[in-house]
Each structure stands twice: as structure tokens, then as C-alpha cells.
Chain A
């Protein structure tokens, strides 16, 4: 036969191997909103709380939609949001080694789910 149909092997599912980390004390949140607007998947949104400088920092409202495109990290003018390697972040998170104001929404969500309903 001239052409042979090759079997379709599905590609492995792409996992997010990085997690979003927010540094709330550096964020100029509601006054800036560059990451919120430019995120192609509308992952980010503002919180209601205030940081020390009086801004509402940014958090992830829809973290599962994040594709690790890294644009929020690149567009942030204040180095307040970045992607960290998932394994490293989990280790630090579980050993409570995070500095004050550092938030990892995905791991916090997972921890909340594992902790059961409150």
C-alpha cells in the first residue's frame, strides 16, 4: 500500500510545572493592574485586603486556567509576581518557609481542599 496509516498516539497531557507566586507587599495592585489586564486567560484579579502601602494586592481567581505563559511576570513593573518551579515551591510551602506576604494561590487552594471543608 502506498500510504500506511500510523496509529494516533495521544501526546501526554501538559502539566503546569510552575506555580504562580505573588509578593503582596511589593504589589501596587488596584492602581497598576497590568498583570490583571494582560493575562491572556484572565487568571488574576484584585483582593479586598490592603497591603502595607495601602494597595489591594493581586491574587489568582482562576488559577486552574493558568497556562504558565509567564506574561504576568514579564509585565509586572515591581517584581511582585513570578513563576516558581512547582516542586521547589511545594517544599518551601510545606515547610512554612515562605516569607511574609508571599502567596502561592495554587498551593493554598490545594491545601484548603486537602484540609477538608471548614
Chain B
């Protein structure tokens, strides 16, 4: 399809991004504010020959997406906080069996039922630590309609490349706002597909990693006959309760992601070159921050922003370097402080100032400007 420009909302941009990335399976369940993704997929999937299935609950949605992925189709699901909580066990299964899948969480007021129609950023930690056990996932945080499209395409590429579930964490404001979206020509999109095995089926070890720590992935129902399980397994896929295998497997699953942070991490540095105060933000508050920075600069304060477009794995080195570069860091979040703690861990001893607003309306530009001036005078 040729390049198109449309005026649409974030949720729809996300769905279009998935389709452009090659996603042909969507298992979903209606939940405010992610319902539009499911509804758009219900229209578009038949048009592109994919499958949209509305399941009985979120657990079936994510588990069926894993099944579709193993049968060879790029698959995704979309939900919000309450659904993401339900999906956590299957996230663990996806991590353990190294299944590529994309999970979109349009974050809303929480905890529990919260405020379904108001955005918040309270699920960021859950994406990383929601399931039991030690593991790494990738979490991307778009802040505009165009980024909803671009980062969803990126999410599919990363999940296929590293065989790991990727979360797209957008707050409800980004999900429901309407802006111009440019959908590039298919030919101009760079897409990544999972590595397939090339060895003879009788020599195939389903969980033997390549040099990049990612095993080539055979599909279910082909001449490669393998057993995949959520139990701790050796390279053959057979379950074992040995200590050595457990340590090796868990380490590899983490290292697989952490060793490639240079490829995964995505940040925007805005006016940071001469800044002596930095704002670290993501999602909707970063939009307010951008305006506040412009206003502050007009008043002579040297302030800039490190905008996180990926939060997991956390950009430790970049934040640490930022800490040594500036005198103060401000972290505005629409929660009680989540990424704040990560920034504090890595940018210390530089003072980190948290602006919490666990509510639907993000920090307004004036509020952030106020904080900048306060911090500037310290």
C-alpha cells in the first residue's frame, strides 16, 4: 500500500502499525481505553487476511496470541491495567518459552477498576515485574500518535529479533488523542522476522542459543518436532530440576536482552547539550515538559529533557551520564513515582525531584515550569 496521511487517534495508529509490521493475529477483549484497537482490528484483519478473535477473557487473548505466534503468525493483544494484571502468568510463559508477542497496555487510572476513562502511568513497573520470577522484557513508551504507529512496528521487530514479549505502554491520553499520522509505504518499512533453524530436524535443539543468545525458532507443526514447556528446560526442551540448568537458563534469558541494550534503548535528547537541569519523562508528561522547557529557556534557565521512548530495559548508562552532567533532575510522572526510582538509582548522587500526579490530567506546562524555577533556585 502506498504512503498515506490520515488524521486519527493513537489507538488506531497502534493497530495500523501492527498491520504494517505484519501482524495477522489479534486476540482481544474490550477494555476502556484500548477497545478501539480491538474494534479497528475487527474491521482491518479480515481485509488483510488476518484473524481477529474476541475471547472470553484477557487470559485467553494473550495465550491464544502465544499459540498463533508458535504457529508462525505475528500476534498481539491489547488491553489496559486490569487486563494486564490478568495476563501476567502468560507473560511469564512467553518469556520462558521465548515466544515473540506484542502486548499493548493503554494505561488508565488504577489500581483496580480505577478511572477507566482517564490516563495514568501506573503500570510501568508491572510490565517489568508483573509476572513471578526473574526475567527481562522490553517496554516502549510512545508519546504521540505517530509514535504509537512507529513504536508498535518497532515492538514487533524487537520481539521477533529477541524472542521476548514487548510491551507498548501508552497512557490513555496518547491512546485517545487525534493527530496526523503518516503511514509509510510498505516498501519503506524495515521489518524483522524471527530466525528459523537451518539444521537437519534430527539435530535440532529447540533452546540451543546462537551467538546472540537467541535460539532459532521452529514452528509447531513442521518437520522440526520439538517440545516447549514453561517448566525449566535444557537445550532439548526437556524439563529438569537441576540447579545448573536453572541458573544457565535464567541467566541467558536475561542476558539475551541486556546484552543488546545498545540496540533496544531509544531516547530523545531535547536541548540537553548545555543544560544544567534535566527533565526525565515519557508519555504525556513529556509533552507538557517540552513546552515548559521552551518557556524556561526564554527566561534564561538552561534546562533540557531526556525523553524515554523505551523504559525497559532501563537506560542505566545514559541516565547515569546525565546525572554527572547536570545539577538537578526532575521526573514528572502520572503515578506515585515509578521510573523515578530507576532514575534515582542510576543518577545519584545528583538530586532527583519527583513530580507525582497519579491522576488523569497530566502535569501542565505551567506546573512543570514552576518546578523548574524552584529547582533552579536551589
Q: Are chains A and B touching in the complex at the 8 Å CB cutoff?
A: no
Binding site for B on A (CB under 8 A): none
Binding site for A on B (CB under 8 A): none
